[in-house]
Amino acid sequence: MSTSVKVSFEGSTGALLAGILDVPEGPVRGWGLFSHGLTLGKDSPSASRICKGLAEQGVGMLRFDNLGLGDSAGDWSDGSFSVKVADTIKAAEFMRSQDKEISLLVGHSFGGAAVLAAAGSLPEVAAVATVAAPFQPKHVEHMFDAEVDTILSEGSAEVNLGGRRREVRRHFVEDIEKADLRDCIRTLHRPLIVLHSPTDNTVGIENASEIFQTARHPRSFVSLEGTEHLLTGKGQAARVARIISAWAGQYLDS
C-alpha cells in the first residue's frame, strides 16, 4: 500500500507545477522521479500506476504535471523539450529540499527522452529507466508532421495531440530538432534499463535498440510483450513497476 500526497514547486519558467508524491506505507527503499509523456500528465494511467506500483514496492515516487497540463499553471504552448528537461531537474531539486533525494529516474515516452537528458545534471541519481521512449525528441514530430512547415513559416499551428487540439509553436519544433541525446546516453555513467514493447505503434521498437546500442554498460533491455504504448491494458503498468523495482533494488539508497 501507499499514500498519495499533493505537492507543488516552482518550475523553470516560474510557473507553479503540481505534483503527487506516492509514499510507501512501510520502509522506504529509496526515492524516485517520474516524467510523463508529451501531453499525458501525472494522473495518466502510465504515470499513476507505475508510481503507485513502485511505492507499493517501497520506492517513493514524485510525478508531476508539466507546464500547462493537469493542475500545473502556465501555458503548454510555452513549453519545449528543454523546458521539460529543466522542470525535471527542478522537480529533483524540490525533492532534495524535502530531504528525499532521488536515486531513480523513470521516464515514459517523451518523458523517457527527458530523463536521459536530465540525468547528467543530477549527481544524486543512481539509476535511470526508460519506458517506450524515443531515441531522439524529434520523434514526436510524426504526430504533427503535416503541420511542421506551417509552424515554421507562420510561427504556430493548432494540431491534434492525444485527441485534443493544442497550439505548437515554432520554438518547440526548433528545440526538438536541435536536441540530440546521443552524448547524454553515451555519457550517462549510470545503470540504464530500457523497457519497450516490440509492437509499440507510437514509438517503434527501433528506438529502444538505438538507445540500448548507444548506452554503455551496465545496461539492460526488457521486451514488454503484449503491451501497448500508453500502458492502459490490465496489469501492464503494474508489471513495468515490478520490473523496475526488482532491477533498481541494488542501486537504491536504503
pLDDT tens string 117-126 = 999 999 999 9
| Percentage of residues of the chain with pLDDT beyond 70 | 99
Order of all β-strands in the sheet with 192-196: 2-10, 16-24, 59-64, 30-35, 104-108, 127-131, 192-196, 219-223
Sign of the C-alpha dihedral, residues 29, 33, 36, 41?
positive
With cut-offs at 50, 70 and 90, classify the pLDDT of residue 20.
very high
Please enumerate in sequence order all residues whose Cβ is within 8 A of that of 254, keeping only pairs 6 or more positions apart, or say none: 27, 29, 30
- Residue 43's H or E segment, with its range, is none
C-alpha 43/C-alpha 85 separation (Å) is 19
pLDDT tens digits for 50-99? 999 999 999 999 999 999 999 999 999 999 999 999 999 999 999 999 99
The burial class, CB within 10 Å (0-12 / 13-18 / 19+), for 3 is exposed
pLDDT at 253 (0 to 100): 59
C-alpha 139/C-alpha 64 separation (Å) is 23
